[in-house]
Amino acid sequence: MNKKAQAEIIGLMIIVIIITLAMLFYLSYVTTESDSSTKSNIRKEFIDNELSMSFVQAAVRTTVPECGNLPLDILIKDCGLQERRISCAGMTTCEAVSITLETIKNETLDVWDKSYSLLVDYGETSQIDTLEFDAYDCAEGTVGRRAPGVQPIPYYPEPGTAFLELAICKK
């Protein structure tokens, strides 16, 4: 009877070892899969954040031919302060800002099928309303909204600052 008990114990040990190995393989598979998913999410978030920052930095440096090839940040400042010192081929600088940003977003973000919130916040010292473009209802407070790329545009020497913001959102 002693040999029969030893055979049963060895059989149970073999079963425990097989179950342990199966669990180890399963756990290694699960952690490997979640790591690649996490890496993919981190990579996508990084790319979207870099796109946001690059977009706003490039946009403020974009020159507008109708306004004497002045950069967009100068036009945003003129619009926000309502100076009306810049001639834009029969348009106000506010209209030129709106048309230019509409063109840029149509040729980039919309073509790339990005979900976004793009706005020009003229700041508290301005009486001009915020100019906003949204795609896929990606408004403030939307779940999955990414940190926006923000480019401040100071009204120096006047007080205040305008902001050009782009947030790339999850679809």
Token pair listed for 132: 């906003």
User: Which carries the bigger pLDDT value, residue 10 or residue 72?
Assistant: 72
Q: What is the pLDDT of residues 104-119, one digit of tens each?
A: 988 988 888 888 888 8
- Rounded to an integer, what distance in angstroms lies between the CA atom of residue 165 and that of residue 152? 9
- Rounded to an integer, what distance in angstroms lies between the CA atom of residue 1 and that of residue 150? 80
> Taking a C-beta distance cutoff of 8 angstroms, is the pair 70, 86 a contact?
yes
For 74, residues 6+ apart whose C-beta sits below 8 A from its C-beta are 86
Share of the chain above pLDDT 70, in %: 84
**pLDDT reported for residue 127:** 76
Which of 23-27, 70-74, 143-147 shows the highest mean pLDDT?
70-74
